[in-house]
Structure 1
Amino acid sequence: MENHATFNVLMLPWLAHGHVSPYLELAMKLTARNFNVYLCSSPATLSSVRSKLTEKFSQSIHLVELHLPKLPELPAEYHTTNGLPPHLMPTLKDAFDMAKPNFCNVLKSLKPDLLIYDLLQPWAPEAASAFNIPAVVFISSSATMTSFGLHFFKNPGTKYPYGNTIFYRDYESVFVENLKKRDRDTYRVVNCMERSSKIILIKGFKEIEGKYFDYFSCLTGKKVVPVGPLVQDPVLDDEDCRIMQWLNKKEKGSTVFVSFGSEYFLSKEDMEEIAHGLELSNVDFIWVVRFPKGENIVIEETLPKGFFERVGERGLVVNGWAPQAKILTHPNVGGFVSHCGWNSVMESMKFGLPIVAMPMHLDQPINARLIEEVGAGVEVLRDSKGKLHRERMAETINKVTKEASGEPARKKARELQEKLELKGDEEIDDVVKELVQLCATKNKRNGLHCYN
């Protein structure tokens, strides 16, 4: 990559870990290519970022606090989706919108060369435009899901071109109806795409989503630029010792990692079925369980009676958080039982693990269908009402991790890992070329000259 003048980039992700994490990863990639990055978010969101910023990035990634208004039902610790009670999500979106004046002050103070923003704040590129700052949307969900949703907005009443493999099942129809609604959130997303300067950045790579990138570009009339998987490298931490020591005692490929994301809370019924499914599978497992903030829940009381005694040393249940990347790279882990959030899908592909797909809501069912289309995993099928069954879960876990019928998925996962290793940061270099062009154009327009 050729040298270029140093440019200042301001990033504004949505207030969710699943959004902030890829923005931080992109920031780290850009700083290695002569960019200064300012990552702007609420103090509650930034608190989880500080611990990830090593000394290496302390001079090139700067954290900027965006203060949301104080609302009686939304104290400062709830200015993030992490642990947020679901009923407060609309309130958080409103509070984020109300932070626009504070964000304008940030723009005025920093005077960045470029704004990179998320899908839920169309007011951000609007504010940047007032300061003559180019703005690019960075989407951290899949091109498949994004093109699927935009299709129904642009072409109501028509079938998605790849509907034979990418679809919602009948029991997931509520998500389809939500996509077809022209409500406030839908217009937020579409406006964010329309206001992006010439290009759209999206997390992913064309080897698995090529036709979906092309269709998304067709729908938007903009160049869609992949940024790669943006997966964080595992970091050693003494607090993880208990988990890793337990895992070290297992046989190679014998264990599955089970996690349903940082912001989805399982119902009691699903908790019990998953527990029984893991028990029936007779496979070693690490299962991460999470509960909303403020709920003092005893794990033993949420699981079937006698569960821990029956699984014994075969299972480890972790409350709250586990070092996911480190676990997935361990040789004794042979599969990932996942909700199919896009970050988790990218991790599984980078680390060469097949997925036992158990989507719960939002974009996850579409991601699960993509995984099956690619051949890197198998979905646990529910009944016609969407109910999860322990026997099907156990069967699918065994198929993906042990049985001969699951070898194609295991092989495909390894192939994708090899492809990603060979590609390296190829996508990021293309991203940098696009961003440099936007920054340079802005500075020329303002009468500034950039020298290499």
Structure 2
Amino acid sequence: MMMNNHGRKHIVLMFPWLGHGHISPFLELAKKLSNTNLFDVYLCSTPANLDSVKKTSTNGGYLSSVRLIELHLPTLPDLPPHLHTTNGLPIHLMHTLKQALDMSSPGFSKILKTLKPNLLIYDILQPWAPLAARALGIPAVVFITTSVAAANNTYHVECTEENRKELGRVIECYNNSLSIILVKSFKEIEGKHADYFSVLTSKKIVPVGPLVVDPFVDMKQNSVIEWLDRKAVRSTVFVSFGSEYFLSSDDLEEIAHGLEMSNMNFIWVLRFPKGQKDIKICEALPLGFLERVKDRGLFVEGWAPQTKILGHKSVGGFVSHCGWSSVMEAMKFGVPIIAMPMQFDQPVNARLVVEVGVGMEVVRDANGRLERDNVAAVVKNVMVSKVGEVVREKTKKMSVALRVKGDEEIDAAVKELLRLIYKRDGLHLEHEEEDSIDERAERFIKKTYQEMRMQG
């Protein structure tokens, strides 16, 4: 096991926001940092979230390298402990959850005093976290799990007074980050956006790569992969809108008709709010739709192994809400995106997908509605039409570039984090440590090229 030249592994505490879309990239970054053997990494969240992490840890491989620390929020009348997560949280309780997290600040300070980490990596909705760390002389760095383009938009978006206060808290998190900001991205797609963000924040922007979870299949989901195995190469569209977003009945109907009109094979992951669990798929979709598409459509309720599906040779397109993690996964596996953004950072991400050339957007009408003809047209363009050839080719090239890069961004980020830690301790990064990180990157690149040559 390689130690740093100052004789010990550094303790890093990671503190994400309470949503799965934030916890997942924090966990993946935690695993990457731990795998360098330079850090002991801890992740702090509520018991409700950590229970979910433990359930998926066998497949995700987290608990072998990342330790978990519980943060207990105050129990409020409308917010019992099982709702201390965004997963399944009624939308009207989101503000209450944020308040409860703010009220947990004293408990978080106690964790800092007990653990005594060498570094805190925090999220964009806890502006008090870096202040608590600073009071104890602990360096703190913000990690942004959205696109850099969306982060830039924070400074320019028009919004209500209430939303302006919320954005002010986000900007405060940027400002309190110590000299650098970590971003889940890479230079090839967001170089110019990162340069602009650096100007806005007066910080060095440090990409850590796409942080895509390694594909795995739950035994219950083997039937999905078996179904794909029977389909032709790049003949199937994967349709999924994330774990925390739900389609309106109008959008559901238009997408269904659009998929039917496209004549493409498809896998569609359907989710309904927790209060609507009794809804049956056959009741939610247009009358007779299931029967008409039974030979080319597969429906999965709740959860599907997304990275495994995107990595399957039969998948040639991804109908997505353009959550940033989904965009990164599609790019890594070389699957063109059919963008249908819904809210938050997703419209910005969709524009970036089109700008980079790895997808096309299904543009809504003047009333914000999807139209089935447009859905069908974009699906066919991305999958088989001549107009989509450029997108398909660009997506393949992007996938190859990402595979070759490997952990290049992580290695550069590790150097930056070590410099911050050593600066606090009055030390400096030894040449031997820089060399060991560089050598690890070179070994990965050589190994990747060899594997690609073997695959033809």
Of 103, 108, 115 in structure 2, the residue corresponding to residue 103 of structure 1 is: 108
Amino acid in structure 1 at the alignment position of 2:28: E
Give 1:214 shift.
Answer: 0.1
2:15 is the alignment partner of 1:12:
yes
2:52 is the alignment partner of 1:48:
yes
Query: Which is bigger in relative contact order (C-alpha 8 A, separation at least 6)?
Result: 1
Distance 1:436 1:237 in 2: 37
Distance 2:106 2:149 in 1: 34
Contact conserved, 2:27 with 2:62, CA < 8 A, in 1? no
Q: The residue matched to 2:401 in structure 1 has which SS?
A: helix
Corresponding residue for 1:417? 399
**Identical aligned residues as a percent:** 57
Give 1:404 shift.
Answer: 1.2
Q: The residue matched to 2:355 in structure 1 has which SS?
A: helix
2:279 is the alignment partner of 1:276:
no
Give 1:180 shift.
Answer: 8.3
Q: The residue matched to 2:77 in structure 1 has which SS?
A: coil
2:91 is the alignment partner of 1:86:
yes
Corresponding residue for 1:156? none
Amino acid in structure 2 at the alignment position of 1:131: L
Of 325, 342, 362 in structure 2, the residue corresponding to residue 380 of structure 1 is: 362
Contact conserved, 1:258 with 1:285, CA < 8 A, in 2? yes
Of 289, 311, 334 in structure 2, the residue corresponding to residue 307 of structure 1 is: 289
Of 150, 173, 182 in structure 2, the residue corresponding to residue 201 of structure 1 is: 182
Amino acid in structure 1 at the alignment position of 2:40: N
Corresponding residue for 1:223? 204
Gaps of 5+ in 2: 434-456
Distance 1:416 1:3 in 2: 34
Q: The residue matched to 1:294 in structure 2 has which SS?
A: helix
Alpha-carbon spacing, 1:57–1:311, altered in 2? closer, same or farther (3 Å): closer
Of 36, 39, 46 in structure 1, the residue corresponding to residue 43 of structure 2 is: 39
Q: Which moved more, 1:298-307 or 1:279-288?
A: 298-307
Amino acid in structure 1 at the alignment position of 2:124: L
Q: The residue matched to 2:338 in structure 1 has which SS?
A: strand
Give 1:46 shift.
Answer: 1.3
Corresponding residue for 1:250? 231
Corresponding residue for 1:145? 150
Gaps of 5+ in 1: 153-175
Alpha-carbon spacing, 1:441–1:181, altered in 2? closer, same or farther (3 Å): same
- TM-score w.r.t. structure 1 length? 0.90
Distance 1:289 1:180 in 2: 35
Corresponding residue for 2:452? none
How big is the alpha-carbon RMSD for the aligned residues of Structure 1 and Structure 2?
A: 1.8
Deviation string 1:227-269 (CA, Å, 9 cap, x unpaired) is: 0000011013211111111111111111000011111111111
Contact conserved, 1:114 with 1:133, CA < 8 A, in 2? yes
Contact conserved, 1:84 with 1:292, CA < 8 A, in 2? no
Q: How does 1:356-371 map onto structure 2 within 5 Å?
A: 356-371=338-353
Distance 2:192 2:54 in 1: 37
The number of equivalent residue pairs is 423
Give 1:224 shift.
Answer: 0.5
Contact conserved, 1:116 with 1:136, CA < 8 A, in 2? yes
Q: The residue matched to 1:261 in structure 2 has which SS?
A: coil
Deviation string 1:87-140 (CA, Å, 9 cap, x unpaired) is: 111111111111111111111111100000000000100111111111000000
Contact conserved, 1:35 with 1:60, CA < 8 A, in 2? no
- TM-score w.r.t. structure 2 length? 0.90
Q: Which moved more, 1:290-299 or 1:258-267?
A: 290-299
Q: The residue matched to 2:154 in structure 1 has which SS?
A: helix
Deviation string 1:7-34 (CA, Å, 9 cap, x unpaired) is: 0000000011110010011011000112
Q: Which moved more, 1:9-18 or 1:49-58?
A: 49-58
